[in-house]
């Protein structure tokens, strides 16, 4: 199941954020900041774009991202989805 779709710029400002589970606005903002700070800011260019992100979205959560120009396209899903189809 897809949990979230996000698009954010290189400064971490969300351009689009859609969560498919009910979350409060504060929790959504916390997750967006967490994805940007923990995952996207500290990753070198030559590593995989597939991550397990259990600490932010719960057990069996995975994240796929793509950096294009000044935007990050991020998809968060659980283990029932195929990582390659989400990429």
Structure tokens at 35: 């994805």
DSSP string, 24-61: -HHHHHHHHHHIIIIIISS--TTS-SEEE-HHHH-TT-
What CATH number has the domain bearing residue 36? 3.30.450.60
pLDDT the model gives residue 75: 92
Domain span at residue 45? 2-86
pLDDT of residue 85: 64
Average pLDDT per 10 consecutive residues for the chain, totaling 87 residues: 92 93 93 85 82 86 89 88 65
Q: What pLDDT is stored for residue 32 in this prediction? A: 92
Q: Which pLDDT does position 41 carry in this prediction?
A: 79
Calculated CA dihedral for residues 37, 40, 44, 50, nearest 10 degrees: 130
Domain count, the chain: 1
Residue of 48, 53, 3, 45 whose CA lies nearest to 28: 3
């Amino acid at each position: 199941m897809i949990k979230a779709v996000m698009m954010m710029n290189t400064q971490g400002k969300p351009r689009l954020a859609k969560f498919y589970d009910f979350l409060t606005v504060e929790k959504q903002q916390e997750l967006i900041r967490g994805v940007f700070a923990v995952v996207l800011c500290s990753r070198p260019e030559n590593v995989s774009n597939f991550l397990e992100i259990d600490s932010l979205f719960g057990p069996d959560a995975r994240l796929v991202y793509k950096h294009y120009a000044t935007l990050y396209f991020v998809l968060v899903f659980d283990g029932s989805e195929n990582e390659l189809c989400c990429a």
